Amino acid sequence: MASMIQMPTTNMNQHVTFPKNIGIRSVTFGQICLAKKTEVAAATRHAVAMSAAAVAEVVTRNTTGANINNTSSSTSLADQWREIQGSNNWENLVEPLHPLLRQEIIRYGDFVTACYKGFDLDPNSKRYLNCKYGKKNMFREVGMENCGYEVTKYIYATPDINIPIQNGESCGRWIGYVAVSSDDAVKRLGRRDIIVTFRGTVTNPEWVANLMSSLTPARLDPHNPRNDVKVESGFLSLYTSDESQSKFGLGSCREQLLSEVSRLLNKYKGEKLSITMAGHSMGSSLALLLGYDIAELGLNRDNSGTKTPITVFSFGGPRVGNSGFKQRCEELGVKVLRIVNVNDPITKMPGVVFNHENFRVLAGEGSFEFPWSCSCYAHVGVELVLDFFNMKNPSCVHDLGTYISLLKCPKRVQIQKEGADLMNRARELLLKMDMSARNLNMQLPIPWRSASASSPTSNMVNLQVQSQRT
């Protein structure tokens, strides 16, 4: 939903720290449901809290617990790309975080970052609210000339909402792009990868669309409306609205995407293919809608019935639909990996209270469901949970740059000197109060006494990796 209007240059060395002694703390948030192929069992939950040093160690060494198919963690991506794309629901890859999966999460996150870098926010520019660069030059201009992909189409979207903006126009805004891997990249990736990326919220109509939290039937398959499959009305509007009333208006975001993805699937028919969607905030909602749409219409199936795998990498994404939508995505085989910050409020919306996860907890381990649970929001996929917060810049909890920086550099870094001094002064004050209380035979509880007594800086940021699935 909400996203930074401009992608700031994130310097993790300036505002976060991973203390050496991180205490494990319990965190409560919605569970993620994915049906296992081999069994139908009660919900299981695996959580492991790691210190940043432990994560760094996991990333740099071969981890037997995270080996794919009992092979070395140094196995090439070309050999194991299906598992990395979620064919086994990322079993044994999230905890601990496998190096290949971490590498791919960062790579797809960089593709989303390119959307922000290319988006023109200068009201005086002729390309205002469009991409600054042409398709052929975009990757080079944003510093990704060696990414191994070629942009094939720009995507535009406009929700069916009339909100005045500075220039008074109501045309579609650049929302993302479609790209395909080159012949050289195919050798490294093990397949031809079609990627669709989406940025987060920027324009006024998009903000309003984010606040339209009512559920409405998706009805994306004309032959089978499936009224039990419901999604957030604002996201659906952004995905399906067009400019039919305008003489030179664009087709809907949906029409543009389905047309281009179908064209590429037909062009590279006979090759090993994958369809990957990646988005941040509101963009992750569009990515999931597109993944569901392609699978529901069967566009990823060839004449022999073979399916091209569909994977969604969601960064700080909100809930998109109800439990019926979640169940249908699982039935269709749409794989979703949600990278979330436990302190990011956007990942808990819509349906902060009335969501499928909360009602499932209330119902216990049985199969009972409340009558209204089908009208509640539900997350889709497997979660990779990070935990970071900066008191001096609270907005960083949803910043895509912070997400990626943390994944790129999980080792301990230092906060700003001013922040450290402030926390040190507060700690010293409470320690003095504690000493005075001891002299009076009183005990003053200081929460960080055991954790930080020997540390020059206070606990400010934790990293937690957590996988949730059923």
Measured CA to CA, the distance from residue 234 to residue 313 in angstroms comes to: 21
Which residue do the tokens 């199969």 mark? 367
158 neighbors 118 (Cβ within 8 angstroms) = no
294 secondary structure, DSSP code: H
Q: How far is residue 449's CA from residue 431's CA, in Å, rounded to a whole number?
A: 8
CB-CB contact of 179 with 260 (8 Å): no
Residue by residue, DSSP assigns 109-178 as HHHHHHHHHHB---TTSTTTTSBSS-TTTHHHHTT-TTSSEEEEEEEEE--S-----TT-----EEEEEE
DSSP letter (8 states) at residue 426:
H
CA-based Rg of the chain, rounded to a whole angstrom? Answer: 23
Report the 10 Å Cβ neighbour count for 32: 25
Closest C-alpha among 26, 94, 34, 107 to residue 465 = 94
**Cα→Cα distances 329→92, 100, 405, 442, Å:** 22, 25, 30, 58
197's enclosing H/E stretch is: strand 192-198
**Whether 216 contacts 231, CB under 8 Å:** yes
Is the peptide bond prior to 350 cis by the omega test (within 30 degrees of 0)? yes
Which residues are the active-site residues? 281, 344, 398
Which residues have CB under 8 Å from 439's CB, separation 6+? Answer: none
Look-up of token digits 């649970």: 373
Residue 80: strand, helix, or coil: helix
Calculate ∠ Cα 253-257-259, nearest 5°.
120
